[in-house]
Structure 1
Amino acid sequence: MQENSSGVDSKVLRQIVDEHQIRQVLLNYCQGVDRKNWKQVLACYHDDAVDSHGAFKGSPDRLVKWMQGTHKNVEFSMHTLTNTTVTFFDDGRRARSESYVVCYKSMSSAEGDAFLPAGEEGPVRRTVASRFIDVLENRGSGWRIARRDVLLEFARREANELHLAFGPGATVSRRDENDLLYRPVD
């Protein structure tokens, strides 16, 4: 056991830092999808990664193109990521994570959505629960996803009458660079 000046095992400290960085990659992915920041989504993957995402399986570039199509009618998207566990392999150079994910979406129509029948008119809201099983690698430039498998748990359509409209003057989320997230910090 190698201890640093604070008395903490250096290997344990490295693992804590790596786990934090891995969780940040997973959160950056969710934020990138929710804000339609496709460059941010791509930055979470190694170029040769494979994503098996329900109806889609392929490279990160193809994933983003697929998402751009499936998110065409998405007005609101929010991924929540919980219960994330990380296990390290190969002397800490590779890791597997499991994350529970719930995604809420509001769409202007069901066109292009893998979970809803085509032809539905008006706003459509749905919730999908899944798990992300990721293999991540640090190839010298930080942790990135090398493989992702999305395992579906359930999907449900929500009745429009269950949702309330926001009042005048309410600040609402945006799915582009005009979201408050991108406002300069004073």
Structure 2
Amino acid sequence: MELDEPTLRTLTECADRAAIEKVLGLYCRAIDRLDVELLRSIYHADATDDHGAMHLPAHEFAPRIVEMLSRVCTYSMHTVTHAVVDLHGKQATSEAYYLGFHTIDGNETAVGEFFGAAYLEAQRAAGLANQPHEYVCGGRYLDLFEKRDGEWRILRRKITNEFSVCRPQSAVQEGMPASFYTPGTRDRNDPVYGLMTR
């Protein structure tokens, strides 16, 4: 059966949006699993990422952000809550809202590096500097995508970080919360990689 032009155009747009949304999701997987190669793969070779403190060619940004997260965080979880994608032929723009959760290692060096000297001093005064701390943040990934050789990848990314909560870790590690606590791993031993080989 031959499809008419409007139907074909609609199907192509749906496929393009799905491909872009998959890239947004793969970014979260790559960051949380500390998977440098996966992180590089979502960007074109000439892409840039403006993460505020880090504004770099994306293929340089990938190992830098993974090294920083592996050094000062013991866990992270990122999620895209929704994305508004506008298609413009072989290019697209995306405004994707995100939430990020980070657990910072329970030592003064990591807490001071991540949160800064004033926060560290306040936590020292409260006797809490050597326990894990949490950083919860939210903002938007503002992306220019480009489709090359049939693949959508990020060409330009700029993030906004519009709120954050910094505090000593509040999770309870006993009772029901502890019995349901089953975190992933921050490498390719995470169960999702085994799922993908089936």
Higher relative helix content: 2
Judge conservation of contact 1:73–1:111 (CA < 8 Å) in 2: no
Judge conservation of contact 1:74–1:106 (CA < 8 Å) in 2: yes
Match of 1:151, SS state, is: strand
Instruction: State the partner residue of 2:173.
Output: 165
Instruction: State the partner residue of 2:57.
Output: 59
TM-score, length basis structure 1? 0.86
Q: What's the CA shift for 1:4? A: 1.1
Number of equivalent positions: 178
Match of 1:17, SS state, is: helix
| RMSD (Å) for aligned C-alpha atoms | 2.2
Instruction: State the partner residue of 1:104.
Output: 101
Separation in 2 of the partners of 1:111 and 1:176?
Answer: 25
Separation in 2 of the partners of 1:28 and 1:165?
Answer: 29
Matches within 5 A, 1:48-127: 48-71=46-69, 72-89=71-88, 92-108=89-105, 109-110=110-111, 112-113=113-114, 116-118=115-117, 119=120, 120-127=129-136
Judge conservation of contact 2:43–2:59 (CA < 8 Å) in 1: no
Which amino acid is the alignment partner of residue 123 of structure 1?
P
TM-score, length basis structure 2? 0.81
Unaligned runs of 5+ in 2: 121-128
**Identity across the alignment (%):** 27
Cα offsets for 1:96-143 (capped at 9, x unmatched)? 000000100101032543xx1155533111101110000000011400
Q: What's the CA shift for 1:65? A: 2.7
